Amino acid sequence: MCTRYHLGYIAVRTGDFRLAYRLLLELKKRSIRCIQLLPSDPVPLDVAAWMGSPSEVLLSGDPLGIPASLDTFQHSVEQAIHRLRYQGPIRRLTFGVDPGPRPGIAWVGDGLTLGKAQLEGVDDTVDSIMRISCAIEHESLIIRVGNGSKTIANRIINTCVVRGLSVQKVNEARTSVGVPRHAHSSAALRIAHLSGDPIKEKQRVRPTNGEIRDIQRRSRRQSFGRTTIPSTLARAVAMGRLTMDDAIRRHIGDYNSFVE
Query: Is the residue at 4 inside a domain?
Result: no
Residue 216 C-beta-side C-alpha neighbours within 13 Å: 14
In the structure, what pLDDT confidence band is assigned to residue 254 with cuts at 50, 70 and 90? Answer: low
Q: Comparing C-alpha atoms, which of 132, 147, 49 is closest to residue 93? A: 132
Q: Are residues 96 and 194 in the same domain?
A: yes
Spacing of C-alpha 218 from chain mean position: 23
Question: pLDDT at position 94, please?
Answer: 96
pLDDT the model gives residue 180? 53
* Strand, coil or helix: 189: helix
Is the Cβ–Cβ distance between 92 and 138 less than 8 Å?
yes
Residue 204 falls within a domain, yes or no? Answer: no
Residues 158 and 177 in one domain: yes
> Rounded mean pLDDT of the chain?
85
CA–CA distance, 164 with 64 (Å, rounded to integer) = 33
92 and 111 in contact (C-beta within 8 Å)? no
SS3 call for 17: helix
Q: What is the count of structural domains for the chain?
A: 3
Taking only the tens place, the pLDDT of each residue in 57-95 is 988 888 889 999 998 888 889 888 888 877 667 889 999
Q: Kindly tell me if the per-residue pLDDT of 257 is higher than 50.
A: no
Q: Are residues 162 and 135 in the same domain?
A: yes
Question: Are 101 and 168 part of one and the same domain?
Answer: yes
DSSP label at 204?
A: P
* Among 93, 211, 202, CA closest to 148: 211
Q: Is the pLDDT of residue 6 over 50?
A: no
pLDDT the model gives residue 1: 43
Q: What is the pLDDT of residues 172-216, one digit of tens each?
A: 875 555 455 457 888 999 999 999 999 999 998 888 888 899 899
What DSSP string describes 31-75? T--EEEE-TTSPPPTTEEEEEE-HHHHHHHT-TTEEE--TTTHHH
Residues in the chain: 260
Domain-located, residue 77: yes
Give the structural domain span for 249.
Answer: 209-259
Alpha-carbon gap, residue 258 to 28, rounded angstroms: 37
Regarding whether 80 and 114 lie in a shared domain, the answer is no
Model-level pTM? 0.67
pLDDT digits (tens, 9 = 90+) for 14-72: 999 999 999 999 999 888 889 999 999 999 988 889 999 999 998 888 888 999 999 88
Residues 137 and 77 in one domain: no
